[in-house]
Structure 1
Amino acid sequence: MNSTNNQPDRPGDQSAQGSDDRARRIIAEVATAGRIPGISVAVAGPDGILYSGAQGYADLATRRLSTVQDQYLWFSMTKIATATAAMRLHADGVLDVEAPIGTYLPGYRPHAKHGHPTTRQLLTHTAGLANPLPIRWVRAENQPEDPALLERIVAKHGTPTRAVGTRAAYSNIGYLLAARVIEAVTGQPVQDCVRDTVLTPLAMNGTDYAYRAGLPRSVGYVRIPRVVVPALRWMLPPGIVGPRVDGHTSLRPFVVSGAGYGGLLGTVTDAAKLAAAHAAGPSYAGLGLTSADTEQMRTITSTGKPFDHGIGWFRKPIDAQRTPAFVEHYGTGAGFWNAMRIYPDTGIAMVAMTNTTTAWNFDGLFTELYTCFY
């Protein structure tokens, strides 16, 4: 399998080379065990990217090797960017995350019994909202977005179905509503707000809400038996399911409808910049958030199942006592399975992006990589 790394020079060249070599071996072992077609990984610290590398194939049909420049669908890792933008608006006094969202969305329908959520509760998944399967909230790259889709989704699922402010339960609907609040207070699309407050300040030049021309793309794959492919074609919108390659069903380029909950796509190093800004705090200039702000976001305050939640970040309850302490977020869907993790006590951030739909041992990867770089 291939391996690339594009990190800056680090002190102690010999020691750094040993860490890089070990990282490549760890990544290769995890990719092989998980039968992952291609994987891109980045590790960052307070001073920037410590390591970036790739293994396997971004495109099985052409045998194009994976690189750290490949664009991947972020899916729900997007929520970290959306939450960051919301907290920046809060810090600037533009948005009060403690106010009921009807303050900004006059047409919002709270529940007479369950309550009226705040933006903070949307961001911490404590707004009492349902979480319908978003499998058809995507469209082929060349298809225009249905402007009524999100309106229909929010109208159907945007009212709490259980008590607001109690136990956390993960919900994409909460982030669709948070995006609407951001748009209401800024008067601009949520995409523009995130670009202005997150992507541009962190120089995330390979990430946006559409594929960037001139940058390579990782092809998404679903590892299913051939007889199941017709069912996959029925489940996904037209034009997405592609040909079979090496026991995988490929997916043609598509994008997510619903920028606030899952619309970003881009590179692993960009994702690591965002993660590191939350792990390292004020040493990453430009976000307009203090160390207290980022600490507030990554502090787990709401218990739930399967995750306990902070603002954007989450952690499995079983991991609460592990050392070193961490919080994380995943980005999973058809064709891609990604994860980011931050270790706030040491400022280390890690991101791995893969072009498989099947869960793999990201915990083992991050745990082993941490010993390479700290």
Structure 2
Amino acid sequence: MVVELAAARAAITALMARHHVPGLSVAVTDSTGLLHAEGFGLRELATRAPATPDTSYLWFSMSKIATATAAMRLVDEGRLDLDAPVDSLVPGFRARRGLPPVVRQLLDHTSGAPNPLPLRWVLPTDRAATEAAPAAAALLARHGRPRRAAGGPARYSNVGYLVLAEVIAAAAGQPFEDYVREAVLEPAGMSGTGYARPDAADSATGYVRLPRPLDPLLRAALPRGVTGPRCGGFVALESFRVVGAGYGGLVGSVTDAARLARLHLGDGEIEGSRVLRPETAQRMRDIRTPGRPFDLGLGWFRQARDRGARPSFVEHWGTGGGFWNAMRIYPGLDLGIVVMANTTRPYDHHALMKALREVFRP
């Protein structure tokens, strides 16, 4: 395995150079424990601080797996009905035509919710404590109603998961973030992950690779206080928080993210703590709903091009300003891989995961 791991490291380093990725952390797990975790490159260019397995990254939409897990735990507890009309819990989410959307359709992106570009759905960390909740409420007031008939092909929607967070809060009888923490993060042992930007020194700075003449456009596109200084070919982003915890608000390390993958590889159980019933965890990764750009299960997705992939997998990405992440599980191999990077542009995560998969499941 030593030789194979060295080859995988070389492949990851070459991939980072090809795609201009400043820093990247990976973790590999099975259902019983962490198999490997490592950092590559730099979490911060200006200080040359290295990325480590404990570096914190913004999860963006990879957070949706935690949100979906929380919803399905409520289902297991008999506190949420997947077939309940959404407007019975969130009165503003009413269809303009056709049947009323139900909770299940928020999970698999068939509710008809819109998906506006979330470019400005962030706040500088120093403003987030007082302004995050009103900003999220404003987003729901503006976008939080279906634009298409429910039940059609899946169309990925961040707004749908903003609404799902409201559904979870109503069913749980407590704030969404508190319920996710108590029902998912703590039982999974994800002690370093939450919805607030950590004060820890080992946090990644997000970067946008951009020609210098375009700097003013980036500053105009993002809220004031988010765009930071230039470092070579990259513009740094100041510390910020995502507005909308349910669709993309988590912040934490790749090793904590691997614990969430481990929970799902264990069919809802991790280290003796049961979060979901086995049949519920299996149901979440049953990809039945074709759509664009992804085919959907209840949280997990897969690109259409990967429908017949062998070995079979499900995954979820988390992409946004400064960060590009992916969590993938291979249930048949009992293997999960998470990669988190401080780059805005996509990179070949398929090749990276293939290289790591071949080390641990040759």
TM-score range, shorter chain: over 0.9
Contact 1:281 1:290 in 2 (8 A): yes
Task: Give me the whole-angstrom Cα distance separating, in 2, the residues matched to 1:200 and 1:173.
Answer: 26
Q: Per-residue deviation at 1:148?
A: 3.1
Equivalent position of 2:233 in the other structure? 247
5+ residue gaps, structure 1: 1-14
Distance 2:135 2:352 in 1: 37
C-alpha RMSD of the superposition: 1.4
**Contiguous gaps of at least 5 residues in structure 2:** none
Judge which range, 84-93 or 158-167, deviates more.
Answer: 158-167
State the distance in 2 between where 1:190 and 1:19 align. Answer: 43
Does residue 46 of structure 2 align to residue 61 of structure 1?
Answer: yes
The secondary structure found in structure 2 opposite 1:330 is strand
The one of 326, 336, 341 equivalent to 1:349 is: 336
**Structure 1 match to 2:136:** 150
The answer to whether structure 1 residue 141 and structure 2 residue 128 are counterparts is: no
Measured after TM superposition, the shift of residue 287 of structure 1 is 4.1
Decide which moves more: 18-27 or 40-49: 18-27
Task: Give yes or no for contact 2:86–2:167 (8 Å, CA) kept in 1.
Answer: yes
Give the one of 258, 262, 265 matched to 1:276: 262
Counterpart for residue 94 of structure 2: 110
The 5 A counterparts of 1:121-270 are 121-143=105-127, 144-270=130-256
Which residue number in structure 2 is paired with residue 11 of structure 1?
A: none
Q: CA deviation at 1:102?
A: 1.9
Q: 1:181 to 1:217 in 2, by over 3 A?
A: same
User: Residue type of the partner of 1:229?
Assistant: D
Partner of 1:8: none
Q: Determine helix, strand or coil for the equivalent of 1:117.
A: coil
Query: How much identity, in percent, do the aligned residues show?
Result: 45
8 Å contact kept, 2:269–2:276: no
- Maintained 8 Å contact 1:198/1:287: no
TM-score by length of 1: 0.93
Q: Distance in 2 between matches of 1:193 and 1:59?
A: 33
Q: 1:3: which partner in 2?
A: none
* Match in the other structure for 1:340: 327
Q: Distance between the aligned counterparts of 2:343 and 2:198, measured in 1?
A: 21
1:71 corresponding residue in structure 2: 56
**Residue among 281, 288, 292 paired with 1:305:** 292
Shift of 1:109: 4.2
User: CA 1:194/1:109 → structure 2, altered by over 3 Å: closer, same or farther?
Assistant: closer
Q: Is the 8 A contact 1:26 1:369 kept in 2?
A: no
1:46 aligns with 2:31: yes
Report the secondary structure of 2:66's partner residue. Answer: helix
TM-aligned CA deviation for residue 154 of structure 1: 1.8
